[in-house]
Structure 1
Amino acid sequence: MLNYIKLHTNLSEKSIKNTIELLNQDCTIPFISRYRKEATGNLDEVQIGDIVNYKEQYETLEKRKLSILKSLEEQDVLTENLKQKVKLATDLTTLEDLYLPFKKKRKTKAETARKNGLEPLAKIIMSQNASDIESIAYKYINNEVKSIEGALEGARHIIAEWINERTDIRNNIRKQLERYAQITTTVISTKKEDEKAQKYRDYFDWSESLNRCPSHRLLAILRAEKEGFIRIKIEIDHDKALYNIENRIIRSDGEPAKQIKLAIQDSYKRLLFPALSNEILNLTKEKADDNAIQVFAKNLKQLLLGAPLGEKNILAIDPGFRTGCKLVCLNAQGALEHNETIYPHAPQNDNIGAIKKISSLIDAYKIEAIAIGNGTASRETERLIRKIRFNKDIQVFVVSEAGASIYSASKIARDEFPNYDVTVRGAVSIGRRLADPLAELVKIDPKSIGVGQYQHDVDQNKLKSSLDTVVESCVNTIGVNVNTASESLLSYVSGIGTKLAENIVAYRDKNGPFKSRSDIKKVPRLGDKAFEQSAGFLRIKNAKNPLDDSAVHPESYGIVKQMAKDIKKDVKDLIGNKLTLEKIDLQKYTSTTVGLPTLTDIISELEKPGLDPREKAKVFTFNQDIKTINDVKEGQLLPGIVNNITNFGCFVDIGIKESGLIHVSNLSDNFVKDVNEHVSLHQQLIVKVLEVDVARKRIQLKLHKG
């Protein structure tokens, strides 16, 4: 396993070995990355994640080897040479090729030919020594084989299967497919005018090199095929492929060579090319999936680590026309204090009543900020709010509603607000997202947040695993207030999980807030291992020990206590005291298990304990003159917010229903390798309008560098 992981990661053997030992002890990636730096050689979460992935790959490979060896043994075909080849195989493709000749097959043409006694004839042909093949074939006519041609055809079926099972031939075709395969698409004629097919019209007649097809385009093509609008073909130079096979097999010009040539053509057309072209398409799809998942993961991380407003009294508005705008008032802890509905828009148009109600709520609940959902009637509601003259400075934010409806109808929302309908729950979610995006968004399936590309087309197990890892990483990077966190948030804390999160909340509800980290051990079923993995990421506000509200792990409290004792101070005197901390000689506190990386982390944390690395939320205002796509004109400079990032560019909300696209070529005057290097999700920027296609509802933008 060590060599396998080392081959794929280029990490040191010691780092890999120690990391595997920690993983086998049920340690989590965030815990290992943060609190076991000496053991891993200071590996980050990405590198540890790579070790986890390749460890799983290796274990899958070894499990398959055992299964194949068992099957070969049962068939009594396991030679020492074959056994060694199986054991030395480093990937599943090689392994399956080795097993292919012995794999139990459904009824094939070759199997039928063998039952009809034609395998000796196939061997004679393959020896390429016989001169009168027809005379030899005549001897194999029987009740099942009626003619010389029937005998020769059966023999060719057997030879075709042998050719298909040759690893060298399969690998040669694989190389040709990897380098030269073209993916070609054609529209299904009966679907050409279908309205739903029009979004795929670029692929009605399309061809390009498969290995250069961008992931987003391949996924779009595969979706179009799945929906029944186009056909896909994978093609290479078939004549060249056949010529290469013939060169490997045919050694003469006689009658056997003609039969072998026919068998090669049959094997290639019926067995080799269909299987291997599907294989290359599946492999390319896997790479496209990985690419799309990586984009989604980056976007999700940026979204979850979005700027929080913090603990403020918030008025949240879920806008609407006919059904009205749902208002909720939330206190600084996010608790719902009041809700009602106003009807400022058509058909009621009760502007005056709405303004009076909002003004009274602002005063009654000491509102400090307003959060407006960015869905239907958002711009109209925002304009209404900005007309109101408040008695104090009120910050107004437009907040993404993506996934709010999913949350409002979920079991989590029903459990939180059993006496309120989905409209109230949705408005609460909008307000809480402003206060703390991470704490609220963890309650929603990441796929519903709308920050990916083709998320429903990729491998769903891979996607879920990747996104869960991102959420876990974000939650543990920020840390969690154990006395206020929801079950959803707690479940992502290192070492906790769903059941322990339920137990923590139940214990908290019954016994009141935790007063120290050590109190957490009193939670039913939260044992020493779970405490070790989670304690450093759980915060206790206003605890007797100030370290309980920091990322310093309880296992290191003794070190901090000794540091304070050595300079004749209390632990609390070290907190935030940079000058004092700089004087501490860290070498003095190193040991066989604690080195400078951990000690440096401790000092950094003591300087700013529990520091939230996220920026603070900033107010943003769209151009109030832009109300629909018809108001957008070429050449305009407009403020916007990045609301999605893909491999081919980013989408920008400019305050109307349709988001504009900054194509990757319009992000910079230089080549753009990674869109994320130029923009980030929810970044506020200025864009220049390049083109407006009202009919197709498309807006092309360019990043303005002014």
Structure 2
Amino acid sequence: MIERIAKLLNIHAQAVSRVIELFESGATIPFIARYRKEASGGLNEVDLMAIKDEWEKQQEIEKRQAFILEKIEEQGKLTDELAKKIKNCFELHLLEDLYLPYKKKRKTRADKAREFGLAPLSELLLAQKDFDLDAIVEPLLSEEVLDEEDALEGARDIIAERINQDETARATVRQHYQKRARFKAEVVAGKEEEAQKYKNYFELDRPLKQLQAHQILAVLRAEKEGLLKVQLAPNEDYVLNDLCGQFIRRSCPDRWAEQLDMAIEDAYKRLMKPSISNEFVKQAKAQADLASIQIFADNLRQLLLASPLGNKRMMAIDPGYASGCKLVCLSATGELLEDTVIYPTPPRNRKFQATDTVLDLIEKHRIEAIAIGNGTAGRETEQFIRELPFEGIAPTIFLVNESGASIYSASEIARQEFPDKDITVRGAVSIGRRLMDPLAELVKIDPKSIGVGQYQHDVDQKQLQNKLGAVVESCVNAVGVDLNTASEYLLTYVSGLGPALARNIVDYRRSKGAFKSRQELRSVKRLGEKAFEQAAGFLRIRKGIHPLDNTGVHPEAYPIVEQMAKDLNASIADLIADKSLRKKIQLKDYVKGEIGLPSLHDIMKELEKPGRDPRPPRQVFQFADVHQIEDLKEGMKLPGIVTNITAFGAFVDLGIKENGLLHKSQMSHERVDDPARFVKLGQELEVTIVGLELGRKRIQLSIIE
């Protein structure tokens, strides 16, 4: 198995073997990538995930091999040659081909023909030599086989089934599908109006290999909704021609060649085409799922690693019209201090009262920043806030993407945090905290609700959940977590923890107070040595007993750093503070056990910037003075923020209700295959409006000069 995985992924077999050993011991991907570089050969998280996925896939294949061998053995039909074939087959669809003749199934037309004694006739036809049909058929006549045509039909059924179960024949058909299958779709009669959003696919007829993931998912969704009829098949004449060439010899008498020709056509149309078409549709869907899930995962990673504003005293506003704007004040650590409602927008327009309330609260809580949700009434509320007569240094104002805030506010997590507050207050708190630290707040929301995916409801939900969970885990551990302030939900994603241990850590904090050292983690209920090993390096303690507790240096490496300091007659604090001391260290002198030069270089980076946050700081951004789509004109240049990236382009927030589409053809003079190479989620752009459809609320954008 190791060699197969190594060959498939083009990764050295020794590295694959060591990584799988680490997985088997309970190690996580973030832990291996960060603290076991020597064992893995420095593989990154993408490579480690690929090894894990392929390892699990190969285990499933081996289970299926064992099952098939057992079932055929039970039938007494397992030969040495067949067993060898099964053991050496590592593709599931080919394994199923080998199992097909032995698979228990409902009684087929061929089974009935055999019961009627027609198997010898089928063998004579396959022998392709002349024989006396009347002499063969006469003894076979019965109530079920009335005449010669009945006999030939039954024989053809037996031949068709044999061809369907023939490995070579199925490989021939698959080759045609692989190279020449065309994906066809047409609108269901009478559904033209209902299917308008799929209009581009009403007369689809393209090679399968030319279709992009989002097109396949769109067509299959339309088929599921009963709006399109879909077919996938290669040229039928070419397939039948190859199958006939495979089974009919030139010396075959014409009358028997005609019978075999009919059997081959029946085998393909009735038996092979439906199953292999279904197989290739599933395969295309699976590949489209992977592509779409990857886009979602890439977008989610960028969103989670978005720039944090940091610990600032915050006012957060969830805008609205008739129901008013929900306003909360938060401490620098995100605790709710006060909440109220103001009505600066229509229909109430109580701007004077709202002005007094906002200015009083800013002074009372010494507010440093104001977060405003970018949903309904967001721009009007932003304009109201920007026009306030601030005294002294005005708070910095930000529009915050509020996707998913309503999901959080109605969740069990929010009810536990704020049992006495309604959902509007919880939503405003989430908006403010999201500005402070997007990662810490967004982990509380189901990633599928954040709105950065493509066809996320159509893809394999288990795969999507696993992939997005891995992304969240990766981001949390890449940034690191403050052990004394992190929420239970953030701690859940720390390597080696999970929900139960995260809850136990929070309970320990409540009963014992703040952690003073990483070693104190060992006192947490049910947190054993393996969990400590996996988690400790990703947990930070500010102003802890040990200076390395606020770094990414793993406790297992503390003795090495302590030895470095001792050899220089200095303390660890001196090493962290003095660059000239660190320059004197010869890393090769400290290579020991599992800690080699790659890990030592990581240690030096941590000593250089202890407790550093890898995310860039949040920058101030302001939209242009446009508030609705009617304010736009073709040729207008506007600032915007990328809110979603898909396979065909990116959506850009222009500060109005509708997002504009930046199609990949408008990103560069070069051909753009992957929009994510040209734009990033949250990126600030200057875009030009190149198309407007006011009726359909569509805006086409360009960044090409």
TM over 0.5, yes or no?
yes
3-state DSSP of counterpart to 1:317: strand
Deviates further, 431-440 or 577-586: 577-586
Aligned partners of 1:499 and 1:135: how far apart in 2? 79
Aligned partners of 1:390 and 1:155: how far apart in 2? 93
Other-structure match for 1:208:
206
Aligned partners of 1:77 and 1:355: how far apart in 2? 86
Q: CA deviation at 1:148?
A: 1.9
Aligned partners of 1:654 and 1:355: how far apart in 2? 27
Give 5+ residue unaligned stretches, structure 2. none
3-state DSSP of counterpart to 2:140: coil
Aligned partners of 2:112 and 2:442: how far apart in 1? 60
2:528 is aligned with 1:527: yes
Cα contact 1:397–1:620 (8 A) shared by 2 = yes
2:473 is aligned with 1:475: no
Give 5+ residue unaligned stretches, structure 1. none
Other-structure match for 2:509:
508
In the alignment, residue 23 of structure 1 is paired with which amino acid? F
Aligned partners of 1:536 and 1:504: how far apart in 2? 16
TM-score by length of 2: 0.98
Q: CA deviation at 1:579?
A: 2.1
Q: CA deviation at 1:107?
A: 2.4
2:378 is aligned with 1:374: no
Q: CA deviation at 1:510?
A: 1.2
**CA root-mean-square deviation:** 1.0
Q: CA deviation at 1:115?
A: 2.2
2:657 is aligned with 1:651: no
3-state DSSP of counterpart to 1:655: coil
Aligned partners of 1:265 and 1:677: how far apart in 2? 48
Other-structure match for 1:29:
29
What pairs with 1:578-657 in structure 2 (closer than 5 Å)?
578-624=579-625, 626-657=626-657
Cα contact 2:145–2:151 (8 A) shared by 1 = yes
Aligned partners of 2:579 and 2:228: how far apart in 1? 65
Aligned partners of 1:492 and 1:130: how far apart in 2? 74
Other-structure match for 1:408:
409
Aligned partners of 1:637 and 1:346: how far apart in 2? 29
What pairs with 1:16-415 in structure 2 (closer than 5 Å)?
16-194=16-194, 197-251=195-249, 252-391=252-391, 392-415=393-416
3-state DSSP of counterpart to 2:76: coil
3-state DSSP of counterpart to 1:231: strand
Sequence identity, in percent?
51
3-state DSSP of counterpart to 1:190: coil
Structure 1 residue runs of 4 or more that deviate by more than 4 Å after TM superposition: none
Aligned partners of 2:534 and 2:642: how far apart in 1? 36
Check 1:159–1:228 CA distance in 2 against 1; reply closer, same or farther (3 A cut). Answer: same
3-state DSSP of counterpart to 1:463: helix
Q: CA deviation at 1:134?
A: 4.5
In the alignment, residue 344 of structure 1 is paired with which amino acid? P
Aligned partners of 1:435 and 1:86: how far apart in 2? 57
Aligned partners of 1:37 and 1:161: how far apart in 2? 54
Q: CA deviation at 1:172?
A: 1.2
For these two proteins, the number of residue pairs brought into alignment is: 702
Deviates further, 135-144 or 631-640: 135-144
Aligned partners of 2:165 and 2:606: how far apart in 1? 61
Aligned partners of 1:201 and 1:356: how far apart in 2? 53
Tell me the alpha carbon deviations over residues 40-65 of structure 1, each in whole angstroms, 9 at most, x when there is no partner: 11111111111101100110000000
Tell me the alpha carbon deviations over residues 496-549 of structure 1, each in whole angstroms, 9 at most, x when there is no partner: 011111111111111111110001111100000000000000011110211001
Other-structure match for 1:432:
433
Check 1:134–1:290 CA distance in 2 against 1; reply closer, same or farther (3 A cut). Answer: farther
Cα contact 2:668–2:704 (8 A) shared by 1 = no
In the alignment, residue 579 of structure 1 is paired with which amino acid? S
In the alignment, residue 226 of structure 2 is paired with which amino acid? G
TM-score by length of 1: 0.98
Deviates further, 553-562 or 499-508: 499-508
Tell me the alpha carbon deviations over residues 387-439 of structure 1, each in whole angstroms, 9 at most, x when there is no partner: 11212231111111111111111111111111111111111000000000000
Aligned partners of 1:577 and 1:704: how far apart in 2? 48
Check 1:134–1:696 CA distance in 2 against 1; reply closer, same or farther (3 A cut). Answer: farther
Tell me the alpha carbon deviations over residues 450-480 of structure 1, each in whole angstroms, 9 at most, x when there is no partner: 0010000001111111101100000000000
Aligned partners of 2:160 and 2:580: how far apart in 1? 80
Aligned partners of 2:282 and 2:160: how far apart in 1? 24
In the alignment, residue 399 of structure 1 is paired with which amino acid? V
Cα contact 1:487–1:501 (8 A) shared by 2 = yes
Cα contact 1:667–1:678 (8 A) shared by 2 = yes
3-state DSSP of counterpart to 1:208: strand
Other-structure match for 1:12:
12
